[in-house]
Structure 1
Amino acid sequence: MDMAPEGIPLAQGGEDRDGLGVDVLHLPLGPVLPFWPAGLVLHCSLQGDVVIDADAAVVDGGSHGVGIRSRHSGLVPAAAVRCDNLVALLALVGTQDLAARARSARDALLRGDRAGPQRAVERLHRVVRRSIILRWSLRGVLPLTPADLERHSLPDRCLGDAYDRLLSLVERVRAEVNGANPGAPVGTERVPWDVVPHLVTGLEIGTVRLAVASLDLDPFPAVHEVGHA
């Protein structure tokens, strides 16, 4: 019997934490998904709406990050990569107007414009910090303690929940475009892609994309298997 008619997997049997028989659904996220890290595939096993296990792989990777060149000014600034991740998180929350501002700043950075990104990011910084919608939507999503950071070799910027990481991301972009902080190059202080399955295990499927977007992942440099939780 075909267990994946039309490519859609059927639920299979499994045991929950109480030893009772429940359905387990296998659901892939990626590699082609709006506002999702390019090439990342998360194969999630679900009981109800909770991720109980996950595998991660990368497909169609390439040379990304600081190796990317724009048509306007050579190497892409790290701030432009971070703006792109900011676009994804803001869009997933549903704040399309703020995502558009972050996109505008990213495009200006790629053009080599200095004044445009500064104005856009300053306005974005003010609005993000005042936004009740962002706070309500992201508070409590993937909270990470100092012990979690040490266990998974994560940078300090990942401390707290998705809302804390959003504020940290905006602050870092703001500092970089204003020249107060040249910013860490893409690839440093990065979140290893192979820890993503561990981080999403136990989350409700509805929050997985927000959680992943909040991690500010650097583009992956090559195609290969990256982990198992």
Structure 2
Amino acid sequence: MDMAPEGIPLAQGGQGRDGLQMDVLHLPLGPVLPFWPAGLVLHCSLQGDVVVDAVTAVVAGHNGGGRAHGSQPDLATAVLSDDVMSLLALAGADDLAARASVVRDALVRGDRAAARDSAVRLQRKIRRSLLLRWFLRGVLVLDQSDLEHHDLPESYRGDAYDRLLSMVERLQAGVGGGSLVSEQDGAVPWETLPKLITGLELGTVRLAVASLNPGAFQTSQEVRHA
């Protein structure tokens, strides 16, 4: 790949969706970004602002671990509240993200009653926010055929807003003492992400990734989506 003097990759030629030649720019996302899976790098190829190809990679020495598991339900629920907070923060809903962090902090303290009350208020505020709904609607829409093709659970159906509501419902179930799906059950593997984000506009990629709640990285190989 040709590089500019400062190490920035130069645009290369490629065929656009209409058959015309367009510049292709290569842009990495990660591994260090706010509200981004630790260690994940998405090497994106762009035509204009559209992702036309992507490769996942993991930072050397990072195994994607450190997530809570089923034997620690409060910690698993706290991790889920962190995921909700990340998506809300990326959507610009800072006040709602702060409310999600209150749920997390209460769970870490072991104050389940406070976490339950905060989760109820959080869900109410999210459902009332027309701006949040408008912002997330249409981001990475997945229908039943997409779920079957990528082996994803029903909770991923719809767009980023639908997935946010699903996450909040799971959060409420967790703080209420109900069943909480294990963090690894149905988690989107990192190597599946390129197939899901290809075709998205660059500005929505981080929202899409946050709404998918990727699981731990399972392989050291890069995976290309043609």
- State if a TM-score over 0.5 links the two structures: yes
* Residue identity matched to 1:54: A
Runs of at least 5 residues in structure 2 that lack an aligned partner in the other structure: none
How many matched pairs? 223
Give the counterpart letter for 2:183 in structure 1: V
The alpha carbon displacement at 1:161 in A equals 0.6
Structure 1 counterpart SS, 2:6 = helix
Q: Name the amino acid aligned to 2:209.
A: V
Residue among 96, 99, 105 paired with 1:98? 96
Compared CA separation, residues 183 and 222, structure 1 to 2 (3 A): same
Equivalent residue runs for 1:30-179 within 5 Å: 30-59=30-59, 60-66=62-68, 77-179=75-177
Q: Which residue of 1 aligns with 2:21?
A: 21
Residues 124-181 of structure 1: CA deviation (Å, up to 9, x unaligned): 01000111011100111100000000000111110001111011111110111011x2
Question: 1:9 maps to what in 2?
Answer: 9
Q: Which residue of 2 aligns with 1:227?
A: 223
Residues 152/48 of structure 1: CA separation in 2 closer, same or farther (3 Å cut): same
**Cα deviation 1:71-127 (Å, max 9, x = unaligned):** xxx786221111111111000110101001101111221222212211111110100
- CA distance in 2 between counterparts of 1:8 and 1:76 reads 44
> Which segments of 5 or more consecutive residues in structure 1 lack a partner in the other structure?
none
Q: TM-score, normalised by structure 1?
A: 0.91
Indicate conservation of the 8 Å contact 1:85/1:217, yes or no: no
Is the Cα–Cα contact under 8 Å of residues 68 and 76 in structure 1 kept in the other structure? no
Q: Deviations over 1:49-85 (max 9, x none)?
A: 000000001222342212699xxxx786221111111
Describe the SS at the equivalent of 1:7. coil
TM-score of the aligned structures, taking structure 2 as reference length: 0.92
Could you tell me how far 1:6 is from its partner in structure 2?
Answer: 2.2
After the TM superposition, which parts of structure 1 deviate over 6 Å for at least 4 consecutive aligned residues? none
**Cα–Cα, structure 1 residues 117 and 211, in superposed 2: closer, same or farther, change >3 Å?**
same
Q: Is the 8 A contact 2:142 2:159 kept in 1?
A: yes
The residue type paired with residue 223 of structure 2 is G
